Amino acid sequence: MCIKDWMIFEYKEHGMTQYFNRFAIFILLVFSVYGIHAQDETTVFKVGDMAPPFALEAILQAPVETEKIQEHLKGKVVVVEFWATWCGPCRKAIPHLNELVKEFVSKPVQFLSVSNEEEWKVENFLKVTPISGWIGLDRDGSLLKAYRLKTIPQTVVIDQNGRIAALTSPQLLNADLINTLLEGEPITQDKVITESVGTKTDSPEKMKLKPQAVQPLFELSIRPAPPSNSMRFSNSSFKARGMTLHKIVSFAYDVSPVRLVATTPLADETYAVSVNLPKNDRNALKVLLRKSLEITFGLKSFQETRDTEVYVLKTSDETTKLLRPSKHNSEMPIMSDDGQVSSQGASIETICAVLEKMIGKVVLNETDLKGFYEIALYWKPDDSKSVVAAIKDQLGLDLKTEIKPIEMTVFETIE
């Protein structure tokens, strides 16, 4: 589920989603959508209404000019997908939508994926994850606002008469629904579910909170648990469920997982850990967690320099052409997910630290680049060569493999 028009503070570690603060990547998404439309602010479009006109900044992969889009779509079934490169559910829906585009390629059906992001970000994304159909750029968010949509992904299906036939989500869109419209028949409730599937963007003050269980003033526990690899933490609490001892030690000792070597068979065993303090004190929290690991597992650690295969980031002739200086004079939040890293302003050192955790290999900075840069990097997460190519093509940087002496943290336990 993806949110727009609000600020999310989320602390977790799941799959390739990681958060950076030496060990943790703190993800902060702040996406603001501004739009102007002649409709009254209270208007909510519904099935049967005439669809608002397509006022877009640009259209990619289209044979027609932006100004002529309305004329080109007359008499066609139009599937409008509101999405973004940073939206996980949006990305998961792309293969399904591409299949539908392929199925209706010879019929009067047009697929239009609309994003409010910059063109270069979308183009970088499309190099790695192709999207069939047209790509609309709604930079001022006017089209999203015209439909009064508050979540993405959202799918709007428009019939051949220009009326809204369905407001749904991409996973509920199917060939039967589109064929029904091509035959000139209305869509019935059994054809599509129209409830919203995204996350609402109402401010926290307006959202009704469910009653919460009373939290303990102090808590510290470690117990075996099935694998699930989830984690939440703040300045006063740490909760992990089904996390390996290797990752728990990585968090407790502020060591990157790839710079941590385990000599114990317990490293891959999974545990549930809970630490709650009566006040905000992250340092005390980590001290307690380290002490509890030492007592529970007889854990000991020491430093050792080892020759290690690493990635080294270097500049190339393309660096100045592709790397975009940030408009901000300080480090901005970074968003990372499977196969992507993006930020409005990040230093090269921070980018290296994020990449290190995401690709599972030490990444060293040998660029001498200072300041902060706007990053929108996309690659295929299941292809190790893809990230090297993406960094070259999208950032103009070289990622070379070398053997370097790296100081590693080695830990052992008493079973």
Tell me the per-residue pLDDT of 261-279, one tens digit each, with 9 for 90 and over.
999 999 999 999 999 998 8
Residue 54 has pLDDT above 60, yes or no: yes
Q: Which residues pair with 341 in a beta bridge?
A: 336, 377
Residue by residue, DSSP assigns 315-375 as E-TTHHHHPEEPS-SS---EEEETTEEEEEEE-HHHHHHHHHHHHTS-EEE-S---S-EEE
pLDDT (tens digit per residue) in 377-391: 999 988 878 999 999
Whole-angstrom distance, CA of residue 324 vs CA of residue 319:
9
360 close to 309: Cβ distance less than 8 angstroms: no
Cβ–Cβ under 8 Å, residues 308 and 404: yes
Alpha carbon distance 236, 288 (integer Å): 11
CA nearest to 6, candidates 116, 215, 151, 196:
151
**Contacts within 8 Å (CB) and 24+ apart, 287-295:** 288/220, 289/238, 289/248, 289/251, 289/252, 290/252, 290/253, 292/220, 292/222, 293/222, 293/245, 293/248, 293/249, 293/252
Among the ranges given (47-56, 133-142, 236-245, 352-361), the one the predictor scored with the smallest mean pLDDT: 47-56
The pLDDT of residue 110: 95
| 263 CB-near residues (< 8 Å, 6+ apart) | 410, 411, 412
Q: Do 175 and 181 touch, CB atoms closer than 8 A?
A: no
> Which residue has 């009067």 as its token pair?
108
Average pLDDT for 101-106: 94
Mean pLDDT computed over 224-232: 88
Q: DSSP secondary-structure letter at 395?
A: I
Return the C-alpha torsion angle 120, 121, 125, 127, nearest 10: 20
Angle at 360 between CA 268 and CA 338, to 5 degrees: 100
Rounded to an integer, the average pLDDT of 70-75 is 88
The confidence score (pLDDT) of residue 191 equals 54
Q: Cα separation of 77 and 95, whole Å?
A: 20
Choice among 27-41, 71-85, 176-190, 201-215 with the minimum mean pLDDT: 27-41
Q: Compute CA distances 244 → 130, 179, 272, 289, whole Å.
A: 35, 49, 9, 14
Nearest 5°: the CA angle 335, 341, 344 is 65
| pLDDT at residue 201, as a whole number | 34
Which is more confidently placed, 25 or 322?
322
pLDDT of 29 reads: 32
- The pLDDT of residue 362 is above 80: yes
φ/ψ of 292, rounded to 5, equals: -65, -35
pLDDT of 22 reads 35
Distance of CA 333 to the CA centre of its chain: 13
β-partners of residue 308 are 404
Cβ-Cβ contacts under 8 Å for 185 (sequence gap 6 or more): none
The answer to whether 296 and 413 have CB atoms below 8 angstroms apart is no
Do 70 and 62 contact (CB within 8 A), yes or no?
A: no
Domains and CATH numbers, the chain: 33-182 (3.40.30.10), 219-298 (no CATH), 307-411 (no CATH)
Percentage of the chain exceeding pLDDT 90: 58
pLDDT-derived band at 64, boundaries 50, 70, 90: confident
Residue with tokens 């958060």: 19
Question: What was the pLDDT predicted at 326?
Answer: 94
Could you check whether the bond before residue 405 is cis, i.e. omega within 30 degrees of 0? Answer: no
- Give the span between the Cα atoms of 240 and 233, in whole angstroms: 8
CB 256 within 8 A of CB 23: yes
pLDDT at 205: 39
What is the per-residue pLDDT for 328? Answer: 93
**Is this structure's pTM higher than 0.75?**
no
